Amino acid sequence: MDLLVVRHAIAEEREAFAQTGKDDAERPLTSEGRRKFQRAARGLRKILDSIDLLATSTLVRAIETGELLEAALGIEGTARLRELAPDADPASLLPWLRRRRRHRLVAVVGHEPHLSHLIGYLLVGRSAGFVDLKKGGVCLLDLGTAPEPGRAQLRWHLTPGQLRRLGR
């Protein structure tokens, strides 16, 4: 099983959005963020055959990023998971992943610092944030036959700019 880890695209600035009085969970992508990630998703389409299953956090900016992935890669149906929240424990996602281990490629869309900690947890067995995942950036992990802490292998890590160049 491979796991594609995707950080949400560029969203509205936290401080400016807070002035609207709405909850931060409702903060959407900017038009620039949407445009840039659409091109990045086209780049992903060039290097991935397909994504079997997509899950996003329950926050609007991750959901919108997931919708752009759905459109670019022809994914049908997306799960919304609290385990992908910015403050979630990386270990909390493992039971969900284990139940989907028959899928070839699962993608998750979430937030920092959670995703960096998740990647570290899967690669080295502890919540280490040593991977710098920029907004709209991705990495692909090989989880083997069943997700376990410290057993994943990093296949590749691409910045948003690299993905956009692929999507030209």
Residue-range domain boundaries for the chain: 2-166
- The pLDDT value recorded for residue 50 is 87
Quickly name the fold that domain 2-166 has.
Rossmann fold (3.40.50)
Give, in degrees to the nearest 5, the angle at Cα 37 between 154 and 41. 60
Q: What is the mean pLDDT of the chain?
A: 94
- The pLDDT value recorded for residue 30 is 97
- The pLDDT value recorded for residue 132 is 85
Structure confidence by residue, pLDDT tens digits, 27-48: 999 999 999 999 999 999 999 9
- The pLDDT value recorded for residue 112 is 94
- Taking the C-alpha atoms of residue 147 and residue 37, their distance in angstroms, rounded to an integer, is 28
- The pLDDT value recorded for residue 147 is 93
26 DSSP 8-state letter: G
- The pLDDT value recorded for residue 142 is 97
- The pLDDT value recorded for residue 152 is 96
CB-neighbour burial class of residue 6 (10 A; exposed 0-12, middle 13-18, buried 19+): buried
Residues of the chain whose pLDDT is less than 70? none
pTM above 0.85, yes or no: yes
Q: Which residue has the tokens 């956090």?
A: 57
Q: DSSP of 73-134, one letter per residue?
A: HT---EEE-GGGSTT--GGGGHHHHHTTTT-SEEEEEE-TTHHHHHHHHHHHSS----S---
